[in-house]
Amino acid sequence: MNPPRILIVEDEPRLASVLVDYLRHAGMNTHWLDHGDLVLPWLKQEPCSLMLLDQMLPGRDGLSILTELRQTSFLPVIVVTAQVRDIDRMLGLDSGADDYVCKPFNPNEVVARVKAVLRRSRQGGADTSSPQPLIVLDQAQSVARWRGQELALTQVEFRILEVLVRESPRIVSRQQLLGSMYTDHRVVTERTVDTHIRNLRRKFQEVAANPIDSVYGVGFRFDMSVT
């Protein structure tokens, strides 16, 4: 079995060096990035088992990276931060973090947490060494792919799906979707939204289970856990 590969995203070289040394001593491979803008492009090209993600980074902060990552990947992520307030802790976990480490940290504790998260991910049956995107939205071409299969969507359906995916797992109201459907100022009703949602569901069901949930009296939610 190949050793796990850990991506360390940390802009402080001294801390990054400590993490590299301890993780390698524990038998893991590592790669270090020091800038937030480098993370998502690197992950698209390289396999990775887990990411240690600093919250405060140059270029792009850790939580915005994590929020976008969670639209396409279940890669295990441990957020590392000096912000210890409860609201920061909950924000990190709500964005999809698997665990949270506060600075200053004990490197041995970080290694233990990495091992624990990797163990949980293996027990859950996830293939974390090469995370596969669930849904990919190509905005330039208005093309959506679910687990690699292209969905034949209209422009309006693509715009609705884009909002649902971006807001997932939050509920999106019909009024929010109405505002995203058309670029002109035509008059449309909530019944029109329901028609487009029904068509979206039908197209998803042609390639997979339906990931669009109805929340009675409120709106719709995109469920990333549907397989």
What digits encode the pLDDT tens for the residues 22-52? 999 999 999 999 999 999 999 988 889 999 9
Q: Which amino acid is at 59?
A: G
Q: Residue 143: enclosing H or E segment and its boundaries?
A: strand 143-146
Phi, psi of 145 (to 5 degrees): -125, 130
Largest CA distance in the chain: 63
Q: Which amino acid is at 61?
A: D
Predicted confidence band of residue 67 (pLDDT cuts 50, 70, 90): confident
Q: Which amino acid is at 66?
A: L
Domains and CATH numbers, the chain: 5-123 (3.40.50.2300), 135-222 (1.10.10.10)
Residue 199, exposed/middle/buried by CB under 10 A (0-12, 13-18, 19+)? middle
Residue 217, exposed/middle/buried by CB under 10 A (0-12, 13-18, 19+)? exposed
Distance between CA atoms of 89 and 99, rounded to whole angstroms? 9
pLDDT at 211 over 90: no
Model pTM score: 0.55
Q: What's CA 177's distance to the chain center, in Å?
A: 22
Most confident of 9-13, 126-130, 163-167: 9-13
